[in-house]
Structure 1
Amino acid sequence: MKTIITLLTFVLFSFQCNRLQFGSNQTKDQTAGAVVTFLQGNITITSQGKESKAKLGDVVRPGDRVLTKLGRVDLQTYRGEVIRIKDNSDVLFRDIAGESRPNTDIHLWTGNLLVKSVKLKSGQNLSVTSPTMVAGVRGTVFSFELEKGSVPKVKVYEGVVSVAFKTSPKLIEINEGLSIENYNRLVKTLEENEVVLEPGERLEVNPNLNELVYLINAKVAANALTNEQLAGFTDFDNGLSKKESVVSPQEKAEAETLVSIAQETVQKQIESQNSNPSESAVVTIEKEHEEKRVEALNKIAADAEKIGLDNEEEIHSHYSVLETIHKSNGDVLSGAVVAQLGDIFIIHSTKGVFQLSVDDIEYVEYKNFKVKTKVKK
């Protein structure tokens, strides 16, 4: 039986945002945090105004901000959620669940998240927010993407995600800039337009309404929202909707690479309160994650072999892409990159399924462009 989390009402959500921001008014819980279990590239963590380069074993606390440039990082919380922050992302952890702290609240300013939740108990919550949206989840795998100047993209791989607009309760006091008819339509849309996404579905957002919600959120607090700005918006009837979006083999494979290590290891590291992880702790985290990701990659490769594709047309049809993989030794494979984790690529080619390291590959060539995975020395 699928359980759907009930999203907060606007008034309650505003209260929650104020209460959760930087974890300032929450009961102190020294177990609230998430451990860096895997990372690539340039990752920075800002904690209490101090910026540092992320390292394996670092603990992210409520109020910390994570910025990825050309890199990505996997985090595992005390409760067991696994969160992948992808390239060029800016993420604020407004709250992180702990032993006595029930909520994990992740705010995405820009970028792309892949989240794997645990089965939550009554009273526990996991939410991902943007300036205009809130996604509530329970026991699920989903992605949440936000590009600057665009609308949020939410896609569910497993489980259920409930999505709604996030806006100020003060909206009910702002009606001078709208006709009574348009004002009533706007309030009705924002209060009732919640969408429940299931596996293989993605969110569709009305850009016009998204822009208005952003405007309200940005300016209501400062009392800077003018009647003229409100009067220009009339398309309120279609706020949120959902469309079928089949989970691709590559997306399914990436979700499988979002592995978790022993919860005892994570909890012990969080409870240690060390700003600099001990060498033994780092070794344990690295070893456990490597074992889990090897298992995941082997399973992905085995599943690809079972499909039995052995020609370009079948591979292209299944993966919706056809690539030429140029190996460092001069060999060439025709097929598709199924998954990548760290320095390992899984290639499904006409010659079979291979696990290749980044050093084995010179570059991957697509039909109209090239993506180099290694630069010639």
Structure 2
Amino acid sequence: MKTIVTLFAILLITFHCSRFQFGSNQTKDETAGAVITFFQGNITISSQGKESKAKIGDVVRPGDRIVTKLGRVDLQTYRGEIIRIKDNSDILFRDIAGENRPNTDIHMIAGNLLVKSVKLKSGQNLSVTSPTMVAGVRGTVFSFELDQGSVPKVKVYEGAVSVAFKTSPKLVEINEGLSAENYNRLVKTLEENEVVLEPGERLEVNPNLNELVYLINAKVPAKALTNEQISGLIDIDSGLSKSQTVITPQEKAEAETLVSITSETIHKQIESKKENSTEKTEVGTIEQEHEAKRMEALNQIAKEAEKTGLDNEEEIHNHYSILETIHKTNGDVLSGAVVAQLGDIFIVHSTKGVYQLSVDDIEYVEYKNFKVKTRAKK
């Protein structure tokens, strides 16, 4: 006899709205926005059905979408969050905080984000979502990566990030596809699915449960979820967990390049983009402030590299987990590792010392197979 098990999606969107409140305040707020402070490569912004190429000083509003190809872009919100969208990313800004709008909600279709939050007040929220998950943060630095067809990767550098599955608010009717035992296991797993990641921790996701949540979200509204799809996902004893991970020197350095410019400059630029505004744009100021801050960050990264005192291939390889050869345009070759790169500047830690090189100084960089035999600094 055909049995019907009615599965309530345990973690309703309304639950997450009360937790993270993403997109919950649709109050008209012309200060709600994020300013492009830096970019490289081919960046496209879609806004109100129109596409344009990104420029320094552009203001991204709630509902806008950014697609990066071979490039990256840094944005700073009115509230002060710094968001770096890396290569091959597709990002929808469902909400952006403003003076009277408390939430920033970033939806990742695919790609890789690096986010530095400000310390949020009560009632304010910053969340990053994927089709299956929501990550809520308060004053932190973290990365969120999603390849299409895979599970999200979340890694925390500073602070804490709360991650949970995001499921459809509709009821799920499953005909004989899930036994009572598996139904109870699934309910328990979803009820206990939240994890809080702290510095040096990364998210571990059960791919079967991730796929099930995706099917629920994508197919339940269209009544297209089949018994075969459900019954094929039987490994549901675990959902989300966390594990220890190493924050590499390169990751630490990149986080330090998430530099902010003065809130006054950001506010003026957003104000200048209001309808009928007579405010003067701040593009030149944005470029100058960001260049000064990123050079300050790169100088500090170089100083920290020099403090390690590493001067041979083995030590450099062990520290950075990579060994590269940097071929300069003048014919010189450096053996070491690229520690950081932002804009046209590379920080290179080589056996000859630590250098700041411009892109014009470098012909190409190649990975080098590490050999135990070391070369002393010249």
TM-score by length of 1: 0.91
In structure 2, C-alpha distance between the alignment counterparts of 1:169 and 1:47, rounded to whole Å: 28
2:367 is aligned to 366
Letter in 2 for 1:346: I
CA contact (8 A) 1:10 1:169 kept: yes
CA 1:11–1:254: 2 relative to 1, 3 Å: closer
Query: Could you give the per-residue CA deviations for residues 80-138 of structure 1, whole angstroms, max 9, x where no partner exists?
Result: 00000000000000000011111100000000000000000001110000001111100
1:5 is aligned to none
CA contact (8 A) 2:11 2:165 kept: no
Pairs within 5 Å for 1:173-212? 174=174, 176-212=176-212
Q: Secondary structure at the match of 2:51?
A: strand
CA 1:238–1:296: 2 relative to 1, 3 Å: same
Letter in 1 for 2:12: F
In structure 2, C-alpha distance between the alignment counterparts of 1:175 and 1:197, rounded to whole Å: 37
1:224 aligns with 2:244: no
In structure 2, C-alpha distance between the alignment counterparts of 1:232 and 1:65, rounded to whole Å: 35
Residue 227 of structure 1: how far off its partner (Å): 2.3
Query: Could you give the per-residue CA deviations for residues 265-302 of structure 1, whole angstroms, max 9, x where no partner exists?
Result: 10111122258999851100000000000100000000
CA contact (8 A) 2:272 2:281 kept: no
1:46 aligns with 2:46: yes
CA contact (8 A) 1:323 1:366 kept: yes
1:316 aligns with 2:317: yes
CA contact (8 A) 2:11 2:190 kept: no
Pairs within 5 Å for 1:250-265? 250-265=250-265
Query: Could you give the per-residue CA deviations for residues 227-263 of structure 1, whole angstroms, max 9, x where no partner exists?
Result: 2321222111111111111100000000000100001
1:94 is aligned to 94
CA contact (8 A) 1:58 1:277 kept: no
Q: Secondary structure at the match of 2:119?
A: coil
1:116 is aligned to 116
2:142 is aligned to 142
1:34 aligns with 2:34: yes
2:285 is aligned to 284
Q: Secondary structure at the match of 1:70?
A: coil
Query: Could you give the per-residue CA deviations for residues 3-53 of structure 1, whole angstroms, max 9, x where no partner exists?
Result: xxxxx9524157679x966x8x71101110000000001001000111111
TM-score by length of 2: 0.90
In structure 1, C-alpha distance between the alignment counterparts of 2:351 and 2:248, rounded to whole Å: 20
Letter in 2 for 1:316: H
CA contact (8 A) 2:185 2:237 kept: yes
Letter in 2 for 1:161: V
Q: Secondary structure at the match of 2:149?
A: coil
Residue 367 of structure 1: how far off its partner (Å): 2.5
CA contact (8 A) 1:160 1:199 kept: yes
In structure 2, C-alpha distance between the alignment counterparts of 1:99 and 1:136, rounded to whole Å: 20
2:3 is aligned to none
Q: Show structure 1 runs of 5+ residues with no match.
A: 1-7, 370-377
1:304 is aligned to 305
Pairs within 5 Å for 1:322-333? 322-333=323-334
Letter in 2 for 1:134: V
More deviation, 283-292/171-180? 171-180
In structure 1, C-alpha distance between the alignment counterparts of 2:17 and 2:305, rounded to whole Å: 48
In structure 1, C-alpha distance between the alignment counterparts of 2:222 and 2:171, rounded to whole Å: 13
CA 1:162–1:117: 2 relative to 1, 3 Å: same
Letter in 2 for 1:150: S
Residue 208 of structure 1: how far off its partner (Å): 1.1
Letter in 1 for 2:297: A
Q: Secondary structure at the match of 1:169?
A: coil
Letter in 1 for 2:341: Q
Larger Rg: 2
Query: Could you give the per-residue CA deviations for residues 153-208 of structure 1, whole angstroms, max 9, x where no partner exists?
Result: 00000000111111113356547521111111112111211111111111111111
Report which of the two has the higher share of helix: 1
Query: Could you give the per-residue CA deviations for residues 48-85 of structure 1, whole angstroms, max 9, x where no partner exists?
Result: 11111111000000000000011100000000000000
1:372 is aligned to none
In structure 2, C-alpha distance between the alignment counterparts of 1:147 and 1:126, rounded to whole Å: 22
CA contact (8 A) 2:11 2:167 kept: no
Cα RMSD for the two superposed structures:
2.2
In structure 2, C-alpha distance between the alignment counterparts of 1:200 and 1:277, rounded to whole Å: 47
CA 1:175–1:243: 2 relative to 1, 3 Å: farther
CA contact (8 A) 1:14 1:168 kept: no
Alignment equivalent of 2:12, drawn from 10, 13, 17: 10
CA contact (8 A) 1:85 1:113 kept: yes
